[in-house]
Structure 1
Amino acid sequence: MDESAQNSDSDGGMFPAPQERRPVGAYRVLARKYRPSRFEDLIGQEPMVRTLKNAFDLDRIHQAYMLTGVRGVGKTTTARILARAFNYQLPARDGHPAVDRPTIHMAELGVHCQAIMDSRHVDVIEMDAASHTSIDDIREIVDSSRYQPAMARYKVYIIDEVHMLSKSAFNGLLKTLEEPPAHVKFLFATTEIDKVPVTVRSRCMRFDLRRIDTEVMLRHLAGICDKEKVEINHEALLLIARASEGSVRDALSLLDQAIAHGAGAPIEAEALRTMLGLADRSRTIALFEAVMRGDIAEALDTLKEQYDFGADPAKILTDLAEFVHFVTCMKISAKTAEIAAGQFEREKGAELAQKLAMSVLSRAWQILLKGIDEVKDSPRPLAAANMVLVRLAYAADLPSPEDVLRRLGGGASASTSEPARGPSGPSGGASAALRAAPQLATVRVAPAPRPAQAGPVAQIGPVAQAAPEIMLREFADLVALAAEKRDIQTKTALECDVRLVRFEQGRLEFALAPGASPTLPAQLSRKLQDWTGARWLVALSSQPGAPTLKEQAEARENERRVGVQAHPLVRATLERFPGAVIVAVRGGEDEESSPTAPLYEGAEARGDEITYADEAQEEDL
């Protein structure tokens, strides 16, 4: 309520406004000026108010209360109102009886109300747990709680952001919190209830303060604007209500900023978008239509235009996701958008809800939700947002799983839209629903031939065919198959860990090299069955087996080095450069056909390349 109304206590329920000592002419922000001082002034918290009213009327007042919720919904304010209700006292006057008991019906300022609301009452101690986290701070509270209140009925401890207390501080508070003196009440406020130990939560009566609904927030802001004599249109109020995300304090702070931005002029939605850096709602809808139509060029131009106007790319995608959610809700029930949107948005939402399938909207929501995080984390937000729109436009053409099954199942000839990717983007699918004169390329799916058999076949969908068997004639074929399947781990194990004993189609016997995994046979059995379509017997053998492929390659390399060293040219080179060693020998073209041929007999003919290294470099190599 405003100060002009508070200065008169003749209007049922109004009471004199608290007088603060502040410099003459100092401005008082709206969030403080219109801070509730009674339960009747709280908005959007009716369940909590009803519970507290019944508790006070039945004299069932709890010893500790836990108030939780997001920022700006009134946790600390509610705690102060509760402290005032605990200590409400009103002397008899003008024929009205005295009030000397806890009550939430506080039509007038009581004896202690002014000091409690000014946070200067000696028996109402407010503590910020963010700056008083230690056990020493809690020990002071425990020690002082033993003494009777100096003036009021109850000694009230208000601990804000209670989740910031240390573990030892919480433990030090437990005993007093469970069995406090009769004259002590605890009020806790927190935005992160999960960080409060369950041992503390179980000792408190908990109230979850809710975010304020858009409709309630609009009425509240409109009432304040009337009292402040500020001209503002409904669309601008709707922008503030959305941007506040259910926080009254955020909404009033934005309204304060809007009034200052307007400098006394009527506040319009366009000026408010400029101030907040928001995208125009009509441009957001136009962007969504362009993306669903597959017109990527127009979508990117619209995004760039809003970006140049000052809108944040992540915020643009967030608005786009909100509109997708809005259209989805409109498709389910039009009543969901009666208050939360303007007339133009409702009309467009209803139109798009009829044209777009639920699967398209669901897919768009998922892509945008993932894309928003990508844009926020990207060093180039605009480029990342462009790629999200491209992905969204092309994904709009993808058929649903039901369409895919219907097309693959055969039957009557069906026309299906093939995504024709033109210079401006994809066509078909969801974009076809939004195109005024769609030009679709069609593909005729021929019906599947019926098998010649006596009775009818009860079958839905395509026939699952077994994978053809793959014949492996030798062990090298198996290694090549692993490479073809891009299974590098299995290929390495076959080359380094398998000492082959026997190999034939359907049977593999080998011994394990030192250090090999004992589960290798079971893994190979599964891989072979998946790859070849046939069952394989893979077994470990007690025989030593042949050297592994790696060992065979190393033996051939050593043989080549020994053969090369006998070559006259190589021998002359080694003598010419004392200390040089042969590092590698790279064979000629016919190496694979004759890998074990002595290199010194045909080194010149094949043109082998020999690499030398100084002896001082040998250790590094």
Structure 2
Amino acid sequence: MNNNSKVLALKYRPQIFDDLIGQEVVAETIINSIKADKVPNAYLFTGIRGIGKTTTARIVAKALNCSNGIEKMCIDNLCENCQSIANSSHIDVLEMDAASKTGVDDVRDLIEFSRYGPTSAKYKIFIIDEVHMLSKQAFNALLKTLEEPPSYLKFIFATTEIKKIPITVVSRCQRFDLSRIKSSELLDFIKKIKDKENGKVTDDALKLIVKISEGSVRDALSLLDRALLSLDNDKELDLNFAQKIFGYFDKSQLIDLFELILRGEEEKTIKIYRKIYDQGVEPKIFLNDFLELLYYFKNINSLTLESTNFSLNDEEFNKIKNISNQIQPDVLILFWQFSIKSLEELDIVSNQNLSIEMFLIRLMHLSSVKQVKQIDTRPTEENSTSKIEIKTETKIIDQIKNISQEEKKNPEIQTEVKAEIKTQINSFDELIATCSSKRELKLKFELEKNVNLVKFEKNRIEISFNDSLDKDFVKDLSTKLFEWTKERWIITLSKSKGDLSIREKKENEKKILIEKAKQTEIYKNFMENFPDAELVDVKSIIKEDKNND
């Protein structure tokens, strides 16, 4: 095949260790082991896609079998062995795709083939790509040969799923974890490829390619190949056109949308989102990008432009930095939690686009009360009771600061606080009724079944309880009491038995009614005719006589 007709990922595939980028430590270790004649029985390369696992395996095969040796390894004028390995045609270097040959019979053929020494090279080398796809039986068949192979036999494994390989296999290999390529290194690399190809691509477009590739060289070259083919020779690929090609929208739109959310401008917010949606951005991708933006707003002061993996340009970086200083961290954390929850809800909504619009509207109307809880547990003197005091401090979060006011450096921040109605609770029965009206059914259940009232006073409740009481009951009740009455309550746990619980009272009343009913003539006559019957419940019916006189 003509070298010019190859895709960039194959055309510029590294041929020697010096061509590798981002894997200097791995390359140096392998070179030193070969020079010291301490070559392991098997190499295991692991990492994400497109960072050079199979490429490194071929370079290792060349280094082991080069006719000139590791010190004078072929660079330009390849020897016969290096040329054959580069073309995947060497008789002693066998490449196998474990994804298509997963069975034990394939491994047995491999082992049978390994019984014969190399024909023209120093080592016979088996390169197995995606080795985690081998079956359990295939791995077991490989174990003995892997541990004690002939001196001329070497294995090189490559995988993206290291956890799927049995530990017995991993322990017999020299493992190398290939890292993601740093953004700056990858940017410099594709710049050089662009220049060699005489491509016209702006730096911002190249940075977008680096961001999308997520540290994968192959992905970056594939995207660059696509970008260079999408334009005529006399045009330059800029960021806007690159975003259209790769399906990414301008981050500045998302920053503008976030700013409008803070201002509470609903109509403009929805208009910008619909514009983003019309560009083909899926709701889940939008939410993930929104989460990424929230992360930048929260941590922008501890980040650099490079550490954002080129997700932002200089202007966007500075804009986020300015806005973030006007937003309280509590608000960003609240937005983050709400966005995560909305991301989970997308799977149960048929029209995800409408769900995102409602999510943005809810963000604008979102308000929060930050509660700081302090629990003080200490024994009281009377009745040897244990006192649990929960102090709750409320602080209204200035959720959305008016950005225009901040820009004018107005020190006064106006926060609108709605008047709240306090609930009066003067008895234990009123407390249960309030739980019912507020739909706090769990608290109502605990109060009726597992709590015995010892004393009820203003802002103070003394109770005893049974073993079934929920461990968070006191904390939950104290929080709700403060929320309802806007006053702090003290809940004391007493060793005194106290009154019967409401459930016990009802059961006792039921037993008394049943005993009274058994004394009636109706019950006795009924049991004579139905001796196997059992009285389980009695209901009293009160009839009111109306006099029309």
TM-score bracket, shorter-length normalisation: 0.7 to 0.9
- Which secondary structure does the structure 2 equivalent of 1:262 belong to? coil
Segments of 5+ residues of structure 1 without an aligned counterpart are: 1-19, 90-98, 411-415, 420-425, 446-467, 508-519, 564-590, 606-621
User: Is the 2:111–2:145 contact (alpha carbons within 8 Å) kept by the matching residues of 1?
Assistant: yes
Q: Judging changes above 3 Å, is the alpha-carbon distance between structure 1 residues 259 and 48 closer, same or farther for their aligned structure 2 residues?
A: same
Q: Judging changes above 3 Å, is the alpha-carbon distance between structure 1 residues 227 and 167 closer, same or farther for their aligned structure 2 residues?
A: same
Report how far residue 433 of structure 1 moved.
4.7
- Which secondary structure does the structure 2 equivalent of 1:67 belong to? strand
Q: Judging changes above 3 Å, is the alpha-carbon distance between structure 1 residues 55 and 553 closer, same or farther for their aligned structure 2 residues?
A: farther
* Residue number in structure 1 paired with 2:274: 304
CA distance in 1, matches of 2:516, 2:408: 68
**Bigger Rg, structure 1 or 2:** 1
1:37 pairs with one of 9, 15, 25 = 15
Report how far residue 114 of structure 1 moved.
1.7
Q: Judging changes above 3 Å, is the alpha-carbon distance between structure 1 residues 247 and 378 closer, same or farther for their aligned structure 2 residues?
A: farther
User: Is the 1:56–1:104 contact (alpha carbons within 8 Å) kept by the matching residues of 2?
Assistant: no
CA distance in 1, matches of 2:177, 2:333: 31
* Residue number in structure 1 paired with 2:461: none
* Residue number in structure 2 paired with 1:440: 414
Report how far residue 228 of structure 1 moved.
0.8
Q: Judging changes above 3 Å, is the alpha-carbon distance between structure 1 residues 469 and 182 closer, same or farther for their aligned structure 2 residues?
A: farther
- Which secondary structure does the structure 2 equivalent of 1:289 belong to? helix
User: Is the 1:331–1:354 contact (alpha carbons within 8 Å) kept by the matching residues of 2?
Assistant: no
Q: Judging changes above 3 Å, is the alpha-carbon distance between structure 1 residues 198 and 326 closer, same or farther for their aligned structure 2 residues?
A: same
CA distance in 1, matches of 2:371, 2:187: 42
CA distance in 1, matches of 2:253, 2:331: 21
CA distance in 2, matches of 1:74, 1:524: 59
Segments of 5+ residues of structure 2 without an aligned counterpart are: 375-390, 420-424, 456-464, 478-490, 524-537
CA distance in 1, matches of 2:470, 2:301: 52
1:63 pairs with one of 41, 47, 62 = 41
- Which secondary structure does the structure 2 equivalent of 1:148 belong to? coil
For residues 540-596 of structure 1, give each alpha carbon's deviation from its aligned partner in whole angstroms, at most 9, with x where no partner exists.
9xxxx99788899999999xxx99xxxxxxxxxxxxxxxxxxxxxxxxxxx98xx25
Q: Judging changes above 3 Å, is the alpha-carbon distance between structure 1 residues 440 and 295 closer, same or farther for their aligned structure 2 residues?
A: same
**Quick check: 128-137 or 312-321, which moved more?**
312-321
User: Is the 1:127–1:158 contact (alpha carbons within 8 Å) kept by the matching residues of 2?
Assistant: yes
* Residue number in structure 2 paired with 1:180: 149
- Give the letter for the 1:115 counterpart: S
2:323 pairs with one of 337, 340, 352 = 352
CA distance in 2, matches of 1:557, 1:214: 85
Q: Judging changes above 3 Å, is the alpha-carbon distance between structure 1 residues 202 and 293 closer, same or farther for their aligned structure 2 residues?
A: farther
CA distance in 1, matches of 2:431, 2:414: 47
- Which secondary structure does the structure 1 equivalent of 2:44 belong to? strand
Q: Judging changes above 3 Å, is the alpha-carbon distance between structure 1 residues 322 and 443 closer, same or farther for their aligned structure 2 residues?
A: closer
Alignment of 1:49 onto 2:19: no
Report how far residue 311 of structure 1 moved.
2.4
User: Is the 2:183–2:306 contact (alpha carbons within 8 Å) kept by the matching residues of 1?
Assistant: no
- Which secondary structure does the structure 2 equivalent of 1:355 belong to? coil
Q: Judging changes above 3 Å, is the alpha-carbon distance between structure 1 residues 104 and 323 closer, same or farther for their aligned structure 2 residues?
A: farther
User: Is the 1:75–1:209 contact (alpha carbons within 8 Å) kept by the matching residues of 2?
Assistant: yes
* Residue number in structure 2 paired with 1:199: 168
For residues 22-60 of structure 1, give each alpha carbon's deviation from its aligned partner in whole angstroms, at most 9, with x where no partner exists.
7xx993211111111111111111221222222223222
- Which secondary structure does the structure 2 equivalent of 1:537 belong to? coil
Alignment of 1:110 onto 2:70: no
- Give the letter for the 1:383 counterpart: L
- Give the letter for the 2:21 counterpart: I
Q: Judging changes above 3 Å, is the alpha-carbon distance between structure 1 residues 47 and 390 closer, same or farther for their aligned structure 2 residues?
A: farther
Report how far residue 286 of structure 1 moved.
1.1
Report how far residue 155 of structure 1 moved.
0.8
CA distance in 1, matches of 2:276, 2:470: 59
Q: Judging changes above 3 Å, is the alpha-carbon distance between structure 1 residues 353 and 172 closer, same or farther for their aligned structure 2 residues?
A: same
Q: Judging changes above 3 Å, is the alpha-carbon distance between structure 1 residues 434 and 168 closer, same or farther for their aligned structure 2 residues?
A: farther
CA distance in 1, matches of 2:372, 2:404: 18
- Give the letter for the 2:153 counterpart: V
Q: Judging changes above 3 Å, is the alpha-carbon distance between structure 1 residues 211 and 318 closer, same or farther for their aligned structure 2 residues?
A: same
- Give the letter for the 2:414 counterpart: L
- Which secondary structure does the structure 2 equivalent of 1:121 belong to? coil
Alignment of 1:537 onto 2:506: no
CA RMSD of aligned residues (A): 4.6
CA distance in 1, matches of 2:256, 2:293: 11
Report how far residue 528 of structure 1 moved.
9.8
CA distance in 1, matches of 2:514, 2:109: 77
> How many residue pairs end up in the alignment?
477
Report how far residue 522 of structure 1 moved.
2.6
* Residue number in structure 2 paired with 1:330: 300
* Residue number in structure 1 paired with 2:187: 218
CA distance in 2, matches of 1:356, 1:488: 36
CA distance in 1, matches of 2:499, 2:417: 51
For residues 378-430 of structure 1, give each alpha carbon's deviation from its aligned partner in whole angstroms, at most 9, with x where no partner exists.
432222322333344445x64666799xx9769xxxxx8776xxxxxx74488
For residues 436-461 of structure 1, give each alpha carbon's deviation from its aligned partner in whole angstroms, at most 9, with x where no partner exists.
8787246699xxxxxxxxxxxxxxxx
Q: Judging changes above 3 Å, is the alpha-carbon distance between structure 1 residues 149 and 374 closer, same or farther for their aligned structure 2 residues?
A: farther
TM-score by length of 2: 0.73
1:165 pairs with one of 134, 140, 144 = 134
CA distance in 2, matches of 1:431, 1:175: 72
How many percent identity over aligned positions? 34
* Residue number in structure 1 paired with 2:486: none
CA distance in 2, matches of 1:294, 1:313: 21
Alignment of 1:275 onto 2:245: yes
CA distance in 2, matches of 1:79, 1:356: 51
Q: Judging changes above 3 Å, is the alpha-carbon distance between structure 1 residues 61 and 552 closer, same or farther for their aligned structure 2 residues?
A: farther
Report how far residue 157 of structure 1 moved.
0.8
Mapping of residues 136-147 of structure 1, within 5 Å: 136-147=105-116
User: Is the 1:277–1:312 contact (alpha carbons within 8 Å) kept by the matching residues of 2?
Assistant: no
* Residue number in structure 2 paired with 1:261: 230
User: Is the 1:524–1:538 contact (alpha carbons within 8 Å) kept by the matching residues of 2?
Assistant: no
